Structure 1
Amino acid sequence: MDSNEKKKDKLPLIPKLCYGVGHFMNDLCASMWFSYILLFYVSVLKLNDMFAGYIMLVGQIADGLSTPIVGILADKQNKIPICARYGRRKSIHLIGTILVIISFPFIFNECLGCADSSMGVNFAFHAVFVIIFQFAWACVQVSHLALIPSLANRKTQRTELNSIRYAFMVLANMLVFVITFIFLGVEAFEDKGDTNSTTTVTPTTTPLPTFLVADEYKKTGSIGPEQLDSFRNVALTCIGIGTIFSIIFHVGTKEPQYCPAKDTTEDEKSTNVQKAIRMRKRDWFKMRTFYQVGAMYTATRLYVNLYMTYIPLFVDDTLNMEIIFIAVVPMIMHFSSFLGSFAMKPINRIIGRKRTFSLGCCVGLAACIWIGVSGQSSYFGEWAIYFVAVLLGIGGSILLITSLSITADLIGENSEGGAFVYGFMSLLDKVSNGIVIMVIQKLDNDQPMYYREVLAYACGVPCIFGILVTLSMYGSRVGTRDRGLTVVEIVVEVVAEDKDDIVKHRSESKDNPAFESDGHI
């Protein structure tokens, strides 16, 4: 590789950061969606558990169905002149951003003009905006992910972009909890004078068995209808901040011009055996690794989304901690996740992607076991919950970054099908999450300890499943195309890829000595 090609392969820092913030508003909204949607509908709007579960299921199914459609559209050549010049993926990203801005504030609000109407009317009102929001969210997510193979030519660069993207995702999550802490903290401070003359607030150091025997603490917690304005203000603030970062993305990220893939000649095939094989959509379904990576990604999203959804309910209902801790505990969790992301590049380089993913599963499983074994102990609400939050966050960081990097490896040189692959992965993720959350809500027995069992089992099982999937992948190389190749050609291709990876890695290290120790990127 000559110096000009090396220069061309490098992605400057500013474009990398501009790309990283392109999913920031989606991450803000997703953090609110998974962390507070059930709590908002059940405790603030006082709707039943099944209603909240159905809303969640409708949203996840809408998102799941939207992602493959968006993926197919994002992979096609856009023949509208202005969209073609702007970028086929960035055009879809812009449409999704606008729809998110319009729809999301209505989700965290009461039914406007119909707050006192029947459950069916309330459901219809919120379901409409949830469906619009989830379609818009899918547009932003798939188009943003599909840009990675187009912007990055090497595995190290793809890991780098995924790490930057994840770092901003964690910052977005933390920002949501900081904003929530501010709004709920101000409200709690204003109501502080009334607590002495009306109700007695249970301190966070109260041993768990003491408040478990008191009926007034069951399924009530500290969140109520009076927090409606706070949650609505948090949603509006997130949209305002997210809009600013979306503008930065669209101004600072230049999408490479779309060039339809051409069939390789016999000379090209003979001189470059590892040339990317053009993958049609049906060809992906013939690859075993396509399903294995899909299962890995689904396990990751189940683990992360379930602990994000039920940690606030666990803190509020099971541990009965004060109102601000539904923001404090998730904030600790995501800050730990952010710190964990710094170690992703060296760990991936030293032990490989599959072992890194298994490590993340083990860390997450350790947190789930701790919750299951000691979740009802008196010390848990005093200090153990914070250590569990750290383990959950680090485990989620490892799993998310690694699973996205493996998905990018699966796509490899076939960037023309990147959006379809991410769309399919997201379909598996969204539908499975919606069904699991619906089942959890249906089985809710109205006991505070129920959420301890949810975190222990519903989050622990995906970790075990992820380990089993990873074990099934040993011996296979993600991204190797075997369509139409003989066994000898496959072996030659794998050997060639290994040599090329080593040469590229040495070249990058020699060209940029700081590359090996440059933070988490």
Structure 2
Amino acid sequence: MPEINSTDKSKLGESMSTMEESECPDKPQNLNIGEPNLRSDFLRQRQDSVPSLTLTEKFCYGVGHVFNDLCASMWFSYLLLFFEKVLLFPDTLAGVVLLVGQLADGISTPIVGVLSDMENKIPACARYGRRKIWHLVGTVCVTISFPFIFSPAYGLEDASLTAQSIYYCCFVIVFQFGWASVQISHLALIPDLTPKKSLRTELNSIRYAFTVLANLSVFTITFFILGSGSTSDGDSSMSTPAMDSIWKTSSTSVPDSAISINGSCSASDTSLEPSDLNNFRTIALVCVVLGLIFSAIFHVGVKEPEFQCPKKREGSGSRMRKIDWFKQFPFYLVAVLYMATRLYVNLYQVYIPLFVQDTICLAKTAVATVPFTMYLAGFFGSLVMKKLNKVIGRKGTFATGCVIGLLGCTWTYAAGPEYADYFKVWGIFVVAVLLGSGGSTLLITSLSITADLIGNNTEGGAFVYGLMSLVDKFSNGIIIMIIQDSNTGDPMYYRDVIFYACGGACVVGLITTIALIPIKVHRRRGVAKSVISLMDGNADDSSDSGSDSSITLPSKKQLSGEVNEAADIVDTICGSLEKEAPIKHPRAIV
């Protein structure tokens, strides 16, 4: 038997010790590279060491987006209604105001995302939290701008509609910047708070549950204010000669066939009018007060984890640069999925009130009761999301939401003249239930899939959410503008909008989900990828989130070089022994 000299022993020992002593501050003991279940056992060990969030912390996080939700409910559900019915703006000009807001939001989101991901150099802001400081900035912007959007154009009451639209657009831009700051910072905080997929899903569910409750609150407030009877007498001080002239013209020149599906809709009984302006201003002020209360709870109750520089926290191979996201094919699919979800939800939010007012011509309080039904159905849908997700997975849950949404869009065709009576009584509420439950399913699942895409690369969380929101806002604004500009006054127009636009968004989402089936959304570069490729390439990915981002493991290249060097030594020394006894070469590990 050939003897192993001391030089070879030294080289072999140095190579093996280099691998064993790789820089990993929390390295587990007895790390056996060849053990098949190492990856899952190692990740479970790391996740068990992550402290869970308390019930109070979950509650405080959940209410952190309530202010945004209250304002978004009014923005999507009542902005076009307010500008067209109360301010008497033309359809196209009202669409321009909304488009400016969507574009401002879309541009703001990636900018805020990039800035929010950066380390804050101001000591006081750094201690407060890089996400929470942007949340605070956004809250201030929303507070000082939102009430003016649903108020008269102070100082410009007798000016042209073009001048008034510029006035409103200025406040809309400030509002949308603030809204984007709150949204992005709040979403990006989820991966920072926990690496667990199950807990992230729970936080998204809690967040959406409060979104639904915020919307229900807006519709309840609207119902009582619009139904209080004060609108018939109105506040005459809110009326201007220009508005009175437009109101008289519009109320006398519209033919009966364009008023309702059965030609028996009286504007004085069912339609909103300029005298409702003061009521909408009151609703906006109430939303601001409630939103500030819940924002204060969020800032007091949520402690943002201390930010660690990615270069100190992770190896260079695990950090996702911004350009790296664009090299990931799942990134584009998730962006389309998120866009389709937001298109579906936002379009039915915008056009259901107009559908209620102009197509089936229900009482003005129906602009509150029908959306209320939608969000109530969405709330109950959010309660079963966690169990449904465990049974059929995220993609199956999203596909289920698409089917429910398509059923709701299809049911709107029952609003034709031959079905008008029953549709006014209860058919519209069937549509509301289907649209609302489908919307909640899609929204929660799409946010969870986006969180999965980010995974442990939380250094780019806000950037990813910002880009997703950019696609969402631009697509929403452009499509709504096209819909507004194409309105011919046909009473069936808004029925067709819900069927084709909302239904089309569901179809796009369903096709994208099918394309995502063979793709692992969260399998990218980083620690988890290194562990997968080195130790258990075919391991099940069903464990809760992956490794903790604070771990630094040697890269595949490093391990491969060390192991192969050791293998070369073994080959030269022990080659003659292969025929006598099989040797498992370290090279086979890689």
Same fold (TM over 0.5): yes
**For 2:64 and 2:165, how far apart are their aligned partners in 1?**
31
Spell out the pairing of 1:433-444 with structure 2 (5 A cutoff): 433-444=476-487
Residue ranges of structure 1 left out of the alignment (5+ in a row): 193-207, 270-275, 505-521
8 Å CA contact 2:63–2:298 kept in 1: the answer is yes
Match of 1:517 in 2: none
Q: Distance in 1 between matches of 2:172 and 2:142?
A: 10
User: Against the structure 1 CA distance between its residues 223 and 85, is the aligned structure 2 distance closer, same or farther, given a 3 Å change threshold?
Assistant: same
Relative to 1, partners in 2 of residues 1:488 and 1:26: Cα closer, same or farther, differing over 3 Å? closer
Q: Distance in 1 between matches of 2:216 and 2:325?
A: 36
Pick aligned residue for 2:99 from 41, 57, 69: 57
Q: CA deviation at 1:187?
A: 2.7
Alignment partners' CA distance in 1, 2:270 and 2:488: 16
1:398/1:306 Cα in 2 relative to 1: closer, same or farther (>3 Å)?
same
SS in 1 for 2:309: coil
Who is 2:177 aligned against? 135
- Kept in 2: contact 1:218–1:447 (CA 8 A): no
Structure 1, 293-302 or 183-192: larger mean CA deviation: 183-192
**1:417 aligns to what?**
460
Matched to 1:83, the amino acid is C
Matches within 5 A, 1:152-231: 152-187=194-229, 211-212=260-261, 214=263, 221-231=270-280
Amino acid at match of 1:244: I
Residue 462 of structure 2 aligns with an amino acid whose one-letter code is A
Question: Contact conserved, 2:258 with 2:489, CA < 8 A, in 1?
Answer: no
* Correspondence 1:396 to 2:439: yes
Find out whether 1:26 has 2:75 as its counterpart.
no
1:291 aligns with 2:332: yes
Equivalent of residue 340 in structure 1, options 371, 381, 386: 381
Name the CA shift for 1:217/1:69 in 2 (closer, same or farther; >3 Å).
same
Residues 221 and 317, structure 1, Cα contact 8 Å, conserved in 2: no
> What percentage of aligned pairs have identical amino acids?
53
Residue 139 (structure 2) aligns with: 97
* CA displacement 1:285-317 (0-9 Å, x = unmatched): 000100000000000000000000001001111
Which residue in the other structure is 1:426 paired with?
A: 469
Q: Is the 8 A contact 2:357 2:364 kept in 1?
A: yes
Report if aligned partners of 1:36, 1:312 keep a CA contact under 8 Å in 2. yes
Matched, 1:466 2:509: yes
Where does the alignment leave 5 or more consecutive residues of structure 2 unmatched?
Answer: 1-41, 235-256, 548-590
**Residue of structure 2 in register with 1:306 after alignment:** 347
> Using the alignment, how far apart are the partners of 1:39 and 1:459 within structure 2?
19
- Post-superposition Cα deviations, 1:492-511, rounded to whole Å, max 9, x if no partner, equal 6663462644999xxxxxxx
1:433-459 Cα offsets, whole Å, 9 max, x none, are 000000000000112211101111110
User: Which stretch shows the higher mean deviation, 3-12 or 157-166?
Assistant: 3-12
Q: Are the counterparts in 1 of residues 141 and 175 from structure 2 also a CA contact under 8 Å?
A: yes
Does structure 2 conserve the Cα–Cα contact (< 8 Å) formed by 1:109 and 1:228?
Answer: yes
What is residue 277 of structure 1 aligned with on the other side?
A: 318
After TM superposition, list the pairs within 5 Å mapping 1:300-379 onto structure 2: 300-376=341-417, 377-378=419-420, 379=422
* SS in structure 2 of the partner of residue 186 of structure 1: coil
Q: How much does 1:416 deviate?
A: 0.7
Q: 1:69 to 1:363 in 2, by over 3 A?
A: same
Alpha-carbon distance in structure 1 between the residues aligned to 2:500 and 2:138: 35
Q: Alignment RMSD, CA only? A: 2.8
User: CA-to-partner distance for each residue in 1:41-78, whole Å, 9 max, x for gaps?
Assistant: 00000110011100010000000000000000000000
Report the residue type matching 1:231 in the other structure.
F
Question: Structure 1 residue 115: deviation in Å?
Answer: 1.4
Per-residue CA deviation, residues 76-122 of structure 1 (Å, 9 max, x unaligned), is 00000110000011001000001100000000011101111012210
The one-letter code sitting in structure 2 at the alignment partner of 1:140 is V
Mapped partners of 1:57, 1:143: distance in 2 = 23
Residue in structure 2 matched with residue 252 of structure 1 by the alignment: 301
**Structure 1 7/182 Cα, relative in aligned 2: closer, same or farther at 3 Å?**
farther
- Counterpart Cα distance in 1 of 2:215 and 2:528: 45
Pair 82,424 (structure 1): closer, same or farther in 2 beyond 3 Å? same
Aligned to 1:199: none
- Work out the CA distance in 2 between the residues paired with 1:117 and 1:486: 61
User: What is the match of residue 237 of structure 2?
Assistant: none
The answer on whether the counterparts of 1:480 and 1:494 sit within 8 Å (CA) in structure 2 is no
The 3 A distance-change label for structure 1 pair 320 and 486 is closer
TM, length-normalised to structure 2: 0.77
